[in-house]
Amino acid sequence: MIQKTVQQTTSNFHHAFPLIVYQRKISGFLPSLYKSFEDGKFDNSTGKITGELNGKVLIHQDTRLTPFFREIKKSVIEYLQYFKVDKKEFEINFVKTWFTICNPGQTFPMHYHSCAHISWVYYIQTPGDPLVLHKKNSNELFGDIFNFSQETNFYNTDSYGIKPEAEHLVVFPGHLEHYTTSEPREHRRISLAGDIVLTLKHRSDTESGLLSPQFWKRF
């Protein structure tokens, strides 16, 4: 498929291939989220800070949180519409969700979500340390050239920090590397994260996209 080209220029410079990350405040769900979080046991004394390893997983199956996940879905639709993607073509599948606790001194190393098309994180409680997004800089002419830059700007960095507040949602591509910093903090961070897979609703006459599970078969 041949893609149409677009242009955006400032003075003599073209701004090509921007990466879009979505952020939105979603209020009114903290009591129900805390209730879901408090059900069962979350023991991160071993240093394992994700719910996937502590039994706090598949939170989207909690029917008490259905209104909350509908708001997440609404946000994902807004994210897709920013790219002019026709939302009527796709099902938005929440395939995995989990709570995460970071105590003071704990961090997340750099990683990405290899099985997700879209990933998101919703902050329930946050001390303010940033979520850092990382992507190889296409402007890097040779390795470490930006060590010689006199200042850091959007065009010579490979990292972008977001300092979210409680009740803030961040949505980004699943392939995007991200991590948290080890900035000193007194309070723990509690968040709910999730992975989304997009499947075509009905079409099978296309080379692009993941077909609906109705066309899948096990042997």
Neighbours of 27 (CB within 10 A): 9
215: phi then psi, degrees, rounded to nearest 5: -95, -5
Give the pLDDT score at 38.
84
The CA distance from 91 to 4, in Å, is 25
Give the pLDDT score at 1.
44
Q: Is the pLDDT of residue 49 over 60?
A: no
Q: Is the pLDDT of residue 111 over 90?
A: yes
Q: How far is CA 72 from CA 2, 78, 193, in A?
A: 32, 10, 11
Give the pLDDT score at 34.
92
Which domains, ranges and CATH numbers included, belong to the chain?
Answer: 20-135+162-213 (2.60.120.620)
What percent of the chain lies above the pLDDT cut of 90? 67
End-to-end CA distance of the chain: 32
Residue with tokens 């099978």, as numbered in its chain:
204
Q: Is the dihedral of CA 167, 27, 65, 83 positive or negative?
A: negative
Average pLDDT over residues 166-178: 97
Give the pLDDT score at 15.
84
Beta carbons of 74 and 160 less than 8 angstroms apart: no
As a whole number, the mean pLDDT across the chain is 88
Beta carbons of 168 and 23 less than 8 angstroms apart: yes
